[in-house]
Amino acid sequence: MEAILLAVRTKYKDVTHISTEKLASWLDSQDYAVSSGLANDLSSTDGMVPELQGETRDREAKGLLDQGNIILLDVREEDEYKVSHLEKARRIRDDLNSEEVEELVKEILKPFNEKEPEEVLKIVSYCSLGYRSSDLARKLKTQIDNMKPSTAVQVFNLEGSIFKWANEGRKLVDNHGNDTTYVHPYNMVFGLTLKKCLHKYK
């Protein structure tokens, strides 16, 4: 695990990495209200962030405001996400192009542009070990820097991502919102860093 974490930090040294302990303390310290966000999965068949219409958009925007100042983005495949994910995390494809990243940032920031959070808005991405999520974090940070939003935003990659989170026995939920300890091991090589008793492919 440590060798992979070092490799991620080296490859993505321009990305801010945070520990599982730090994220856990953030989530424990705020009233992290349940929200469906923009959608449980912000990807769609045509690769763009789904557009929300009328009352639905208003309702979802309010939901984002209600969830506090932390946005969790799960950068894994659907099969991985269904087995387990961090509570209230929304799945994002790892291959978004620049236009899709811009649309995602706009959707995240929209409710906060109307009512800025009392604290800095924190966007935390994670995947299995940190490669895919670091790549998205880099894209998000670049886009946000270019946009210069009025809302103060910080972007992070969760170091060790869901494998480290699960190995430490931290809270996970399955696709139905039920507590679980299992995690999709991604592949045979990366899966070696996840405790064998936690492996589940479906």
**pLDDT for 30:** 66
Calpha distance 2→96 (Å, rounded): 28
User: pLDDT averaged over consecutive 10-residue blocks of the chain (202 residues)?
Assistant: 94 98 91 40 38 35 53 98 97 96 95 74 97 98 94 96 98 97 96 97 94
CATH number for 110: 3.40.250.10
**pLDDT for 49:** 38
What pTM, to 2 d.p., does this model score? 0.83
Number of domains in the chain: 1
DSSP 193: G
**pLDDT for 113:** 74
**pLDDT for 103:** 97
Average pLDDT, the chain: 84
For residue 145, the enclosing domain spans 2-44+53-198
Cβ neighbours for 70, distance < 8 A, ≥ 6 positions apart: 26, 27, 30, 32, 122, 124
Q: Any long-range contacts for 10-16 (C-beta under 8 Å, 24+ apart)?
A: 11/131, 11/134, 12/130, 12/134, 12/135, 12/137, 12/138, 12/157, 14/138, 15/134, 15/137, 15/138, 15/141, 15/155, 15/156, 15/157, 16/137, 16/141, 16/154, 16/155, 16/156, 16/157
